[in-house]
A and B are shown apart, each in its own frame.
Chain A
Amino acid sequence: MTIKEVENGIVEDFSAFTDWMDKYEYLIELGKSLPIVSESGKTEQNLIKGCQSRVWLECEFRDGRLWFKADSDAIITKGIISLLISVFDGRTPAEIIDADVSFIDEIGLKENLSPTRANGLVSMLNQIKAYALAYEMKNK
């Protein structure tokens, strides 16, 4: 599946929710199932600090692909991280560089990716792209 296809799948999943509460219940469930960063991985280096919540991101480069683990102290943020990771995990740097995340907008969670929200998500997204760019450059 391409990144776009995974994103379309998420949009389809979310279209089933007519109520805000159901949508958040689902995000909370996703958040709880996220592969979390171990305590030893919660280093200052992996920390992305926001005013509202903190996010940790670990990245591993294996077989030409990028693998991510992430965590947050806020569960809704974790739910959204889980969506982003399902999109980006195991992709090549080139795929990640080209991907857009407009699906977050389509499922009505755009406010969470506003730079002024300071929940660490925008910085996390930038960090994912930065990793991809770094490995892409290294491979060339």
Chain B
Amino acid sequence: MNVENLRKKIPALGRMVYGRPLVYLDNAATSQKPEEVLDMQDSMSRFSNGNIHRAMHILSTESTSAYEKARERVRAFINAKSDREIIFTSGTTASINLVAESFSRAFVKEGDKIIISEAEHHSNIVPWQLACEKYGAELLVAEIGDDGRIKMEQMEKMLGEKDVRLVSICHISNVLGIVNPVKEIIAAAHGHGVPVMLDGAQGIVHGKVDVQDLDCDFYAFSGHKIYAPTGTGILYGKESFLEKMPPYMGGGDMVGTVTFKKTTYAELPMKFEAGTSNFIGQSCWTPALDFADSLYEDKELSEEIKRTEKSIIEFIFGELSGMEGVRVLGGTSASGDKIPLFSISADGVHPSDLAQIMDKMGVALRSGMMCSEPLLSKFGLTAVLRASFLPYNTFEEAEAFVRSFKKAVGMLR
């Protein structure tokens, strides 16, 4: 297997736009889907659409079995101890909100503290602000340096403060493309008896995640960024915490017995899955993660991907650092903790203009605040242009990106 053949499995990547081949570089926003995922979504919708866990009929049996098989597939993918630790949600945002509310209700009281970092997506800021407001806690923000790295000394000092209840930080920043030293942070936090939640929206996509090895207490991620359909997500949580947390939403499928006096709740993981889940979408985790795993299992393919990623990072850094007034957030030196994700600003040119013109050249990018207003403000910016790559992207696409970037900057300056 090679990348060229891999791309043939993903219909969207073969598209022509404005008479040119599509160069899709908005992967940090969402990934394109392989045939296996699309096929399963289609065939379940057509033939196995029975609501899960409830009915005796064959459609329900089939969908329930696909749904629970997907849970096991996710468990194996992140090496969780048990299926009971895998909660299906609608996405990373829902997973973080679940913890922000249920964990806080169980463990956070007035005067307690929760730590996040400056490099968080709004999804890992606002839920904590809401929880802090509701439970009278204080939100502490760990700083990052100009190089985009978390200031570890300051973080450790914060962890030493009294009544810190939780740390919630991103595994990989959606703006900087930098992998946080999460193992180090988790070990430091645990040293103070503080549990850690990781926002894995980007982290799950780039390299293997082993929650037992990381020893994180919660890990949140979305399906749509890792080849699964939209509206699918996972909350991994250690059973010891999930057991003690009250349900987030009430409804069907999450109860034991219901009377008007007292309701008992279902066992994990159902306790946190009220209402009809997106069972068709969630079932598609199985082919999506098979696809994700196949990228690493095939030795030839994984070597090619590794090689390409490295040369893309070196090439883009090399080309952009040579351009006047162009800046890549988090620095332009390729160290081992960088994924092929680049947030770029160019003096005198607005990122939305670049994105709009480059779109017409066939290159799909993101521009704006990246849902990370505090981080951009820190760098004195109101918007950036972001190019983000996945293993299915090629070196030629990186070249096309740089070519069109240079042309667009030339037009706009």
Measured CB to CB, the residues of A under 8 A from B are: 20-21, 24-25, 28, 51-54, 73-77, 118-119
Contacts and interface: CB of A to CB of B under 8 A. Distances in A.
B411 A53 contact: no
B130 interface: no
B411 A52 contact: no
A57 to B, nearest CB: 17
A76 B368 contact: no
A53 B350 contact: yes
Nearest to B352: A52
Given A75-B353, A76-B356, 7 more contacts: A20-B18, A24-B356, A28-B353, A52-B352, A73-B382, A74-B353, A76-B352
A18 B18 CA distance: 12
Contacts of B360: 20-21, 24
B373 to A, nearest CB: 9
Given A20-B18, A73-B350, A52 B412 contact: no
Contacts of B411: 21, 24-25, 28
Interface string B352-393: 110011001100000111000000000000110000000000
Contacts of A54: 382
Given A75-B350, A77-B352, A52 B383 contact: yes
Nearest to B355: A52
Nearest to B412: A75
Contacts of B383: 52-53
A115 B248 CA distance: 33
A24 to B, nearest CB: 5
A78 to B, nearest CB: 9
A76 B353 contact: yes
Contacts of A118: 368
B382 A76 contact: no
8 contacts: A24-B356, A24-B411, A51-B368, A74-B350, A74-B352, A74-B353, A76-B356, A76-B357
Contacts of A74: 350, 352-353
A54 B367 CA distance: 13
B412 A53 contact: no
A135 to B, nearest CB: 32
Contacts of A119: 352
Given A51-B368, A52-B383, A75-B412, A24 B357 contact: yes
B369 A51 contact: yes
Nearest to B361: A21
